[in-house]
Structure 1
Amino acid sequence: MGLFSFIKNAGIKIFGIRKADAEDPSEVAIEELILEKAAAKKLKETIIDLQLQIENLNIFIDDDIAIISGLAHDQATREKAVLVVGNSKGIAIVDDQITVEHVEPEAQFYTVISGDTLGKIAKKFYNDTTKYPIIFEANKPMLSDPNKIYSGQLLRIPVLD
């Protein structure tokens, strides 16, 4: 799939607190490496907890870039994993290196703006507000309520049959 851009300061916080001022630059670098490894581990656990099955899942974070790799059963699982990682505060770019067993059409992606609802987004993409459940289902389990989306969040918009 390639590179995906996200809004760095939107989403769920995954990084710990960094020290404000350190005298030794090497201490800062070590601290950042520890925080990045912890964030990658937390994201991996989240993907597993959401039951997004990706064999040999690996996540590497360097500053605000996350690289995700592994083997997903289908395109939807791949896209959801990318969204879990990218919709995390502190991540600006996701380099998707996941391969897929069963190739399917790729979904479109949409960044939520202020005032959006799933109904408005469904109207934009499907010309029908009542198709919002399709978007909701396509973004489960990351979305638990169709009324709880936020500005800056990236959503999957699946292709209709």
Structure 2
Amino acid sequence: MGIFDFVKGVGKKLGIGGDDAPPSADSLKKELDSHKLGTDDVHVEVQGDTAVLKGKVDDQSIFEKAVIAVGNTLGVSKVQADELKVGGAAAAKEPVFYTVKKGDNLWKIAEAQYGKGQGVKNTVIFEANKPMLTSPDKIYPGQVLRIPDISAS
């Protein structure tokens, strides 16, 4: 699947290290598991400011949520997920991610991603990013969100 870029200087702070220090593999795994996504078979390694995810998840949505749960952590600039496999018969697709800009809200993001007049689809984006998002109003510049494919629905 590749390597996914994140903003190193924003995100959830784990531990007590300096802001520019990458978090430990253990703290990233603990953060990932705290979301109860079904990532028990996922292993996390840290190489510099890159988090490497290895193992297996059951479906595409768990794959994408695992990437953003780890990537939206202070000190992580990239998530490498080449060795994170998606189980089942369906082949994994390249995910669509969006980096929040200053002044964005979920309505604006939905219109930008799905087309003019589709702001009402903001709830789809919010639901796709739970449990990492706890409120549609709590997004911040630099945060990466997953944008689900709505063409199938």
Q: Give the stretch that moved more between structures: 147-156 or 106-115.
A: 106-115
Q: 1:148 aligns with which of 112, 134, 138?
A: 138
Moved over 4 A (4+): none
Q: 1:115 aligns with which of 99, 103, 121?
A: 103
Q: 1:101 aligns with which of 59, 82, 87?
A: 87
Greater fraction of residues in strand:
1
Question: Offset of 1:107 from its aligned partner?
Answer: 3.3
Question: Which stretches in structure 2 are left out of the alignment for 5+ residues?
Answer: none
Question: Offset of 1:132 from its aligned partner?
Answer: 0.2
Larger Rg: 1
Is 1:133 matched up with 2:118? no
Q: What is the TM-score normalised by the length of structure 2? A: 0.87
Corresponding position of 1:7: 7
Question: Offset of 1:106 from its aligned partner?
Answer: 4.0
Distance in 1 (CA, whole Å) between partners of 2:25 and 2:135 is: 26
Is 1:159 matched up with 2:145? no
Corresponding position of 1:56: 41
Q: Give the stretch that moved more between structures: 43-52 or 138-147.
A: 43-52
CA contact (8 A) 2:41 2:57 kept: no
Distance in 2 (CA, whole Å) between partners of 1:158 and 1:112 is: 15
CA contact (8 A) 2:5 2:78 kept: yes
Distance in 2 (CA, whole Å) between partners of 1:124 and 1:3 is: 24
Greater fraction of residues in helix:
1
Number of matched pairs = 144
Q: 1:45 aligns with which of 14, 21, 30?
A: 30
Identity %: 40
Distance in 2 (CA, whole Å) between partners of 1:70 and 1:88 is: 20
Distance in 1 (CA, whole Å) between partners of 2:142 and 2:50 is: 17
Question: Offset of 1:46 from its aligned partner?
Answer: 2.1
Question: Offset of 1:52 from its aligned partner?
Answer: 1.2
Cα RMSD for the two superposed structures? 1.7
Is 1:17 matched up with 2:17? yes
Distance in 2 (CA, whole Å) between partners of 1:152 and 1:67 is: 20
Distance in 2 (CA, whole Å) between partners of 1:147 and 1:60 is: 32
Deviations 1:8-54 (A, max 9, x none): 00101125325xxxxxxxxxxxxx8xx85xx3212212222211112
Deviations 1:96-153 (A, max 9, x none): 1210013354431110000000000001111211110000000000000001100000
